[in-house]
Amino acid sequence: MSESFEIRCKGVGVSEGIVVGRVLRMHGNTGYVYRANIQPADLEQELERFRAAVRLSRSQLQAIKDRAERELGKDHAYIFDAHLLLLEDEKLINDVENSIRTEQANAEWALKVVSDRLLSVYSEIKDDYLRERGSDIEDVVQRLLVSLSGEQPVHRNLPEDAVIVSQELLPSAVAELDLDFARAVATDSGGWTSHMAIIARGLGIPAVVGLRDFYRRARTGDTIIVDSGRNEVILNPTPATFARYQSETTNRTRTRMPEAVHRGPLRTLDGVEIRLRANVELPAEFAGVSTYDAQGIGLYRSEFLLARRGVMVSEEEQYLAYSKIAEVAGKYGAIVRLFDLGAEKQFDPAREPERNPALGLRAIRYGLHNEEIMRTQMRAILRAATGDRLDIVLPMVGDVSDVRRARRILNQEVSSLADAQVPQGQVRVGAMIETPSAVITADSIASTVDFFELGTNDLVQYTLAVDRGNEDVADWFRTLHPAVLYGINRSLEAARKRGIGAIVCGEMASTPSYATLLVGLGATDLSMTPSSMPRIRRVLSLIDSTIARQIAAECLACETADDVEALVRERFRASWPGVFPLSSLPVTRKR
Ligand code: PEP
Ligand code: MG
């Protein structure tokens, strides 16, 4: 039952803007299948749940097929025959039902196990046409999973006023959507540095996260107002609220790009040059690199290539994607981060969930554990690096041994391409500094890499042991914690001592007051969502780096995040009156 009275929910506005639209509920994580034990007494009910999902999927497909026939002609509708046939395939259905019975497992799990077995057979077939049929199986399985979840299937082409409401919008789900039509996003979980938030900012889509149980209350089609500035969403607004917002909102899908974007070199008042590079994930963000005059791409989060979960992208497709990235980046080049899979970016849905994914087989560990995946990616990058500069950065290294192992693999791939006389470019190798162990051993890591990238999102998460996507602990996620500042300072120092570059690429770099503090800690290279660049340019061109250094030194001597925040508020306003409006300075939260 839809609740028709006005409901206001507080969360955290993570991407600016106000939007009035209609709810489109989306089950953001259908690809990640959990195993549940089914008691013998409940097995029959579970089987019936599966059969109902098959029936529902069949009738949906039949309707889609009929429509395709009407609108596009028979030639285009045959694809759905293949899908329908799969749903009528007795062997497949029986195998899933048997698996539910014998494993005493939930239908989702049984379906995934059976279909993965089938898919692995298809993936080894030499015939291209037959191998392609594997993707039909994936589509049908996805449809069945959505049917089992009780959700409406999500159409990749969204209606024009869609506000996506989800419990958790995983990166893979975001990457699959046609974001041209998403007006705003509202999710139960997430924080400022969760990937959905990062992408929403990149695309200029207003977003409020951390709404706790909003998803449960919203129904597809409900009217909704997303007001990021007030950290709020309003469901079924009263006519009075609605009218107020109608006049207040520009109701644009995208924040308009500023008319005049400051271009050219950026210097602080005392002449220190600061280089701004772009963080990109999706093709929709590429245009921002030249619009905002970024000095190349500082971070390409390559795992967003694997939008369709469970499907590895071939070397050839990767080669094309990295060539495109190099072209977009131009003469300053691009840094491709090796797949940062694991944690909330699960690639293999059939894998048993880890007990503690953020501390599990994530990032470089995933690559070293699945060496072929790493090798393929390295080959594609080396091949694409023949024109404009492409470099590699290794995500979440623990210490120098992770770097050595990855370098050994890279060297082998360089040799094997050379032996086969395949053209390749020279790539430099950098390390992401994101864990306390990397900070503590930064000196030795600096001696084995060509540059550092400071991933402050994870550095905060791991230094403070606070999940970056869990709204229950959001108050403990303190970017200005002295321990975090210490880690940044130490890493920058290690890079300086060794004479290598260090780019700060976490979300900290795109927040004016934090970026100022970073300059105070000695950072001269920042990488961020392109749309954040104008305000960072403005602020950094108005500050004096020597003063920033003095303030940063004082912050390093503080005992708590509250003390740092209070100091920043006071010193920034006194040193640069008018540059930092109150709203742009850190607010100490009450706990
Ligand atoms: C970071 O951790 O700061 C970072 C840049 O990487 P990601 O946000 O993708 O984890
Ligand atoms: Mg990270």
Q: What is the pTM of this model?
A: 0.73
SS3 297: strand
Q: What is the pLDDT of residue 190?
A: 84
| Cα angle 503-505-508, degrees, rounded to a multiple of 5 | 120
Q: What is the pLDDT of residue 109?
A: 87
Euclidean distance between the first and the last CA atom of the chain, given in angstroms as a whole number = 36
* Distance in Å, CA 462 to ligand 2 centroid: 10
CA distance 196 to 138: 24
HEC-encoded secondary structure of 418-483: HHCCCCCCCCCEEEEECCHHHHHCHHHHHCCCCEEEECHHHHHHHHHCCCCCCHHHHHHCCCCCHH
What residues have CB less than 8 Å from 416, skipping those under 6 apart?
A: none
CA distance 471 to 11: 9
Q: Is the CB of 506 under 6 A from ligand 1?
A: yes
Residue 102 banded pLDDT, cuts 50, 70, 90: very high
Q: Which atom of ligand 1 is nearest to the CA of 454?
A: 3
Ligand closest to CA 456? 1
- Residue 372 CA from chain centroid, whole number: 23
Ligand closest to CA 299? 1
Q: Is the CB of 413 under 6 A from ligand 1?
A: no
Instruction: Give the residues across from 207 on adjacent strands.
Output: 15, 185
Residue 169 banded pLDDT, cuts 50, 70, 90: confident
Q: Which atom of ligand 1 is nearest to the CA of 396?
A: 2
Give per-residue pLDDT as tens, 486-517. Answer: 999 999 999 999 999 999 999 999 999 999 99
Higher pLDDT, 364 or 351: 364
* Distance in Å, CA 358 to ligand 2 centroid: 11
What residues have CB less than 8 Å from 204, skipping those under 6 apart?
A: 15, 17, 254, 255, 531
Give per-residue pLDDT as tens, 398-452. Answer: 999 999 999 999 999 999 999 999 999 999 999 999 999 999 999 999 999 999 9
Q: Is the CB of 293 under 6 A from ligand 1?
A: no
Quote the tokens at residue 115: 């279909």
CB atoms inside a 10 Å sphere around CB 5: 7
The percent of residues above 90 in pLDDT, for the chain, comes to 56
Q: Is the CB of 458 under 6 A from ligand 1?
A: yes
The chain-wide mean pLDDT, for the chain, equals 87
* Active site positions, annotated: 195, 505
- Enumerate residues with CB within 5 Å of ligand 2 (an ion): 434, 455, 458
Of the candidates 146, 153, 188, which has an alpha carbon nearest to the alpha carbon of residue 170? 188
Which one of 505, 508, 514 would you pick to mutate in the ligand 1 pocket, going by the greatest count of ligand atoms within 8 A of its CB?
Answer: 505
Give per-residue pLDDT as tens, 278-322. Answer: 999 988 889 999 999 999 999 999 998 885 444 678 899 999 999
CA distances from 423 to 162, 253, 372, 382, 395 (A): 46, 43, 20, 8, 26
Q: What is the pLDDT of residue 259?
A: 45
pLDDT at 1 over 60: no
Burial class (CB in 10 A: 0-12, 13-18, 19+), 557: exposed
Residue with tokens 């799969």: 86
CB atoms inside a 10 Å sphere around CB 566: 15
Of the candidates 379, 380, 346, 383, which has an alpha carbon nearest to the alpha carbon of residue 363? 346
Q: In what order do the strands lie in the sheet with 12-15?
A: 7-10, 232-235, 223-227, 18-25, 162-166, 182-187, 207-209, 12-15
Q: What is the pLDDT of residue 262?
A: 72
Q: Is the CB of 298 under 6 A from ligand 1?
A: no
